[in-house]
Structure 1
């Protein structure tokens, strides 16, 4: 197994907030300059890192902020589509990502590689890997394959995980007791209280996206509330 690079960007995340600065296809916010400004605003507010989609946006964000950039590349919308191949992962490293986030579920990867292949390639290129998982077993396996962090990103969205409207704090606690790498709470964290609860449950850091950076989705919530 290729050893990971130095842990310097990981130490900066302990006990801190990571802000996911993304927008879905077709959303008015999905523009590189807008997303970079979003990342700069997150840094100004105290975020320890930002999570950014696609190499172009990663490169622009790296040039604009002084916090670690966690890069991912969503390619498609079914199966393994979060950084689905070694090629995607290395493109993110080339763009400047300090940490590459990738699907680490047990589902087959489109290029026939394994998650361990992706980890080895990213480590050899000098970056770290965040494993996006849905279950405890996936988190254990990802850590065993060399992931530097394990995140609950896919809980509730991938097969084998419970559908729920709240953060999966049980998975956070279970992972924290089962792996020797930092556990990141991500998914449906909607309030500062929920973020604090995630740290109390064993998370090393917390990712918040929609509740901070998605005005279209938040507007829809208010519109639906007024219509009910």
Structure 2
């Protein structure tokens, strides 16, 4: 039986903003209802899609917004922890995620599977896959293994990628030149000007998180700026 595949949301993301509605463990914003309200606010502000963490939040967000939901599941905080296994990925599909975001770096996955295994499982369940990468080589390999989008999410956070404050627009440009799937710019994009620069560098879409949805981190930044 041919797996059910919904209409692709990719065309609706072209040239548009994706808002990451997440909060770290222990943050007062880490509450399903609060995160859903962030997603609704993002929709009201013109976002084309939202990126949310964990199946419970994915399901609640799918029920609350009329936007593609990009789901991920962070399990731990070291190594491969963004949707690390096929089990995590399928739970997100079951929760209603249109796109599953997963670590596609060269590091080993905790269940011994490959990124290609995860892609095949998500596709069979009717979803699409966003590959979170740190380098151009990883992006090219992820595309070759069937990723539907490639994102610069892990640049600066995984081995082999540069540690820098601004967004990695060099990686965006390198991926845009070398893969045929859409390239998503994500990571340290703090201003509308940087978001526009990412599109100019070749990104199809831009993800912004902290600069929009993280009041604790933003308050800390301002408070530190006032400290002698």
Q: Give the aligned length.
A: 227
Question: Cα gap change, 1:177/1:127 in structure 2, threshold over 3 Å: closer, same or farther?
Answer: same
- Distance in 2 (CA, whole Å) between partners of 1:116 and 1:3 is 17
- List aligned pairs for 1:17-166, cutoff 5 A: 17-166=17-166
* 8 Å Cα contact 1:154-1:187 kept in structure 2: yes
In the TM superposition, residue 8 of structure 1 has moved relative to its aligned partner by 2.3
Q: Which residue of 1 aligns with 2:201?
A: 201
Structure 1 position 193, deviation (Å): 0.2
Deviation at 1:58, TM superposition (A): 0.1
* Contact persistence 1:4–1:128 (CA under 8 A): no
**Is the alpha carbon distance of 1:3 and 1:189 closer, same or farther for their aligned partners in structure 2, counting shifts above 3 Å?**
farther
Q: Secondary structure at the match of 2:52?
A: strand
Rounded Cα–Cα distance in structure 1 between residues aligned with 2:159 and 2:27: 27
| Contact 1:4/1:123, CA 8 A, preserved across alignment | no
| CA distance in structure 2 between the aligned counterparts of 1:175 and 1:35, rounded to whole angstroms | 31
How far does the alpha carbon of each residue in 1:101-135 deviate from its partner, in whole angstroms, 9 at most, with x for none?
Answer: 00000000000000000000000000000000000
SS of equivalent residue, structure 2 residue 198: helix
Structure 2: unaligned runs, 5 residues or longer: none
TM-score w.r.t. structure 2 length?
0.98
Give 5+ residue unaligned stretches, structure 1: none
Match of 2:215 in 1: 215
In structure 1, the residue corresponding to 2:102 is in which secondary structure? strand
- Which secondary structure does the structure 1 equivalent of 2:226 belong to? helix
Partners of 2:224 and 2:4 lie apart in 1 by 46
Alpha-carbon distance between aligned partners in 1 of 2:90 and 2:147, rounded to the nearest angstrom: 15
Contact 2:16–2:206, Cα closer than 8 Å, also in 1: yes
